[in-house]
Amino acid sequence: SSGSDENDVVVIGGGPGGYVAAIKAAQLGLKTTCIEKRGTLGGTCLNVGCIPSKALLHSSHMYHEAKHSFANHGVKVASVEVDLPAMMAQKDKAVGNLTKGIEGLLKKNKVTYVKGYGKFLSPTEISVDTLDGGNTVVKGKNIIIATGSDVKSLPGITIDEEKIVSSTGALALKEIPKKLIVIGAGYIGLEMGSVWGRLGSEVTVVEFASEIVPTMDGEVRKQFKRSLEKQKMKFMLNTKVVSVDTAGNGVKLTLEPSAGGEQTTLEADVVLVSAGRTPFTAGLQLDKIGVETDKVGRILVDKRFTSNVPGVFAIGDVIPGPMLAHKAEEDGVACVEFIAGKEGHVDYDLVPGVVYTHPEVASVGKTEEQVKALGVEYRVGKFPLLANSRAKAIDDAEGLVKILADKETDKILGVHIMAPNAGELIHEAVLALHYGASSEDIARTCHAHPTMSEALKEAAMATYDKPIHI
């Protein structure tokens, strides 16, 4: 067993942070063990997050297109129906194949994989209650905590994953709810709301704050919200959930304005609570070795991902920073590079964010609000997808590209894209920011025609000069 000999690196958690750290450590020649309690690798992201949500977003989009758009393209279908079990089975197959693929990657890289629940005995010893009912002690010179995050509810609301669901339950509903209420207008709520909305649910999003997706550029957000409203998603902003009643057939919510005021009620078949996620360290026995956390439970680390306990590191959703899979992966690689005596680096200002609705919204760098707050003089270049030939050709032209650049130097400060494939388009901008490019650098780069990427080039032209096609 792995318990008898000491590892260079032990990773607790097999999510995108943990499994990537484990593979990288092994690639750097370090003897590595990865401990995961779930029974499958890939963490939240592969099992109940990024991947199943994208599977359902794609399937529901196909249905919606077949029902509402095919005819516009001269494609006649006699009747279109949802086969929900088949849709769920396709999602489960994708998840199963990918999690098994990760297991193959650990094997290929000679990472020892221990299935079980890890807890600290000392800064170099982890006791694992294995899934087969046994116990083993895994020793390591360096321990990386990559235990991720868990769903969070709201005071007074108990998630039963039937009528009141978290994102996990919303990925596995057995029936299409007639009415769905989403509490929380973050990206997860809007993505899951879109899935069920496309399949026929009446979706109402209740949000305490005055805006949806608070991190989004304000101007883009306005267009995005209008687009979702066109898709029949309803929003109740500045609204607080006071209580939840599950006594009857469905669920009855009592609401009031966030600032206080008259109460109203709203009924639904299913309520999705997507009011954020919370770092997960339960059962790890962090107190036993004295690892420090902040007041919301995140493990505090320095720039080298070291906690206050030497030899104990933390990465991903369990430390401060954007709770995103690609950020966790970057953390994992950099952390292991430090352990191996190399330099690691993550630029947290350049972590792209994507909302995978239709159209998608993707961004990197600063929003206009952030640039203003910094007091930087800036220029804005915009280009609507309506003026992009490819988007017009395929009749999918809702959205825009918006670039913010320094007024004096033209250095790009932020890029915001709303487009059908914004999550792919954004990476040209991510690379540009990474290399400290100016908007003119993008504008003078030859882009293939006809592509939606040309909208980025034209927005770049609009930033320091004039676009051609508008």
Q: Which residues bind ligand FAD (CB under 6 A)?
A: 12-18, 35-38, 43-45, 48-50, 53, 117-118, 146-149, 167, 188, 280, 283-284, 316-317, 323-326, 328, 356
Amino acid at site 79: S
Between 280 and 305, name the residue whose CB sits nearer to ligand FAD. 280
Between 323 and 364, name the residue whose CB sits nearer to ligand FAD. 323
User: Nearest approach, Cβ of 140 to ligand FAD (angstroms)?
Assistant: 14
Amino acid at site 193: G
User: Nearest approach, Cβ of 190 to ligand FAD (angstroms)?
Assistant: 11
Structure-token pair, residue 355: 């909302």
Between 134 and 436, name the residue whose CB sits nearer to ligand FAD. 134
Cα separation of 206 and 446, whole Å?
Answer: 44
Neighbouring-strand partners of residue 122 = 125
For residue 414, give the nearest of 402, 400, 425 by alpha carbon.
Answer: 402
Q: Is 86 helix (H, G, I), strand (E, B) or coil?
A: helix
Render 167-188 in DSSP notation, one character per residue. Answer: HHHHTS-SS--SEEEEE--SHH
Between 328 and 460, name the residue whose CB sits nearer to ligand FAD. 328
Q: Are 416 and 231 in contact (CB under 8 A)?
A: no
Q: Are 415 and 433 in contact (CB under 8 A)?
A: yes
Classify 362 in phi/psi space as left (phi over 0), alpha (psi -120 to 50) or beta: beta
Q: Which residues are annotated as a binding site for FAD?
A: 54, 118, 147-149, 317, 323-326
Q: Are 41 and 106 in contact (CB under 8 A)?
A: yes
User: Nearest approach, Cβ of 324 to ligand FAD (angstroms)?
Assistant: 4
Between 12 and 401, name the residue whose CB sits nearer to ligand FAD. 12
Q: Are 244 and 252 in contact (CB under 8 A)?
A: yes
Q: Is 59 helix (H, G, I), strand (E, B) or coil?
A: helix
Query: Which residue in the list 68, 73, 427, 449 is annotated as catalytic?
Result: 449
Between 157 and 461, name the residue whose CB sits nearer to ligand FAD. 157
- What torsion do the CA atoms of 77, 78, 83, 89 make, to the nearest 10 degrees? -40
Between 218 and 283, name the residue whose CB sits nearer to ligand FAD. 283
For residue 442, give the nearest of 462, 424, 422, 468 by alpha carbon.
Answer: 462
Distances 279 to 44, 80, 148, 330 between C-alpha atoms, Å: 12, 42, 6, 18
Q: Are 278 and 297 in contact (CB under 8 A)?
A: yes
Cα separation of 268 and 13, whole Å?
Answer: 36
Q: Which residues are annotated as a binding site for NAD(+)?
A: 184-191, 207, 276
User: How many of the other CB atoms lie within 10 Å of CB of 127?
Assistant: 17
User: Nearest approach, Cβ of 155 to ligand FAD (angstroms)?
Assistant: 20
Q: Which residues are annotated as a binding site?
A: 54, 118, 147-149, 184-191, 207, 276, 317, 323-326
Catalytic annotation present for 58: no
Whether omega for the bond prior to residue 420 falls within 30 degrees of 0, making it cis, is no
Residue partners of 334: CB distance under 8 A and separation at least 6? 305, 344, 345, 346
Query: Which residues are designated catalytic?
Result: 449
